[in-house]
Amino acid sequence: MKRIYLIIILLLPLMMTVGCREEKSKNKVVASKETYTCPMHPQVMQHEMGTCPVCGMDLVRFEKGDAAGGLQLSERQMTLANVRTITIGDAGDGGGKQLNGRLVANPEQTSFISSRVAGRLDKLFVRQTGEQIKKGQPLYQIYSEQLATLQQEFLLALEQSAQFPDDKTFTQILNAARQKLRLYGQSEGQIRSLQHSRKASPNITFFAPESGTVAELSVTEGQYVAEGSPLLRLEGYQSLWVEADIYASEISQIKAGQQLRVVIPGWEDEPQMLKVSFINPSLQQGAQLLQIRAELPNPDNQWQPGLQAKVFVAQKSTAKGLSLPPDALIRNGKGAHVWVETKPGHFEPRIVETGLEGTEGIVVSSGLQPGDKVVISGAYLLYSEYLLKKGKDPMAAVHKS
């Protein structure tokens, strides 16, 4: 018996080692059954982590048959899919009405520069649109016999005033001649230079009265211009206007001072909350549309005129339900559903019932509550991603639960 016990004690570690090896081999078999695929190229399939040979993206685990509901996306995936959400019940975030808008230059920051005197443009220091101009920068040089005559009058009045310093009449004539030069655009520095040199010149340089961007150039070098002829237009972009179109029958829903949510394509992560500053009372020519306007601060010149903008008008929820943009709903033969972000990066399908529908919004009569974060952009991509990862319709999973 002692020999038998001794043999058992010696064989016990060996048996445990063999059992551990068998358990590890089972784990390896289970791990080897895991499949990884590319979110952008589902035809790429392999049994280990890596990158897609087509686009270089990191592979993700293929979760076909997984009973767990919902999707988990990283911030990078949400950015690529342009996934955006709104919170039901938040002021300014309602998706009840979306208007097509655009950014335009603010006329209050636009200035027109015209010729102060008649003459020939001998030299243009600005030759193309889009150039940045700073205040005091030379703009053009003009040959003007009229200015040359005014300079001669000033020099003559200056000599008479020097010869008869006690005569107030010559002092008044000198001041009048100086004022004429100022009225014709001569700066104090140019007048002092003329007083110092005592030489009149018909070639006079004019400088920019303010800073801005050249939006329009109306003349060419060597051209003769009359007094008051337009030369160029300067625009400042520190503040822009957002203009949006709305049908006349719907203008009663918008009032001056009402808050708008403005999203500029390319800057979806920087929505701007603005207020309606003006409602045009007249229809656009050839269209049954009115324009509403809001002012957009742009201190760093981040945006430029001509960019498109999405303007969302907040609509109050009625007793009939909540309003959502059409892109938020996914439909198939089993009904309609939306995607709700239950926690950061985690999205779950939610069955809803709809009511009245239009191009601006769809009334959801049941299935959502105030405070739910509903996906309004990228819902179809979430639906496709669910089919890829789970291998089943999200509607079927929701019905089963």
Contact (CB, 8 A) for 202 and 144: yes
Structure tokens at 184: 């014709």
Alpha carbon distance 259, 273 (integer Å): 7
Compute the average pLDDT of residues 364-391.
Answer: 78
Given pLDDT bands bounded at 50, 70 and 90, which one contains residue 350? Answer: confident
Q: Of 44-53, 85-94, 183-192, 258-267, which gets the smallest average pLDDT?
A: 85-94
Most confident range, picked from 31-45, 227-241, 270-284: 227-241
CA distance 307 to 265: 8
Instruction: State yes or no: pLDDT of 103 exceeds 90.
Output: yes
pLDDT at 223 over 50: yes
Which of 252 and 280 is assigned the larger pLDDT? 280
Cα distance between residue 370 and residue 351, in whole Å: 16
pTM of the shown model? 0.51
Averaged pLDDT, 229-251: 89
High-pLDDT (> 90) share of the chain, %: 12
Q: Is the pLDDT of residue 370 over 80?
A: no
| Nearest residue to 95 (alpha-carbon basis) of 291, 343, 336, 379 | 379
Cα separation, 305 vs 106, whole angstroms: 9
Average pLDDT, whole number, for the chain? 79
First to last CA, the chain: 61
Name the 3-class secondary structure at 355.
strand
- Backbone phi and psi for residue 223, each to the nearest 5 degrees, phi listed first: -80, 145
pLDDT at 303: 92
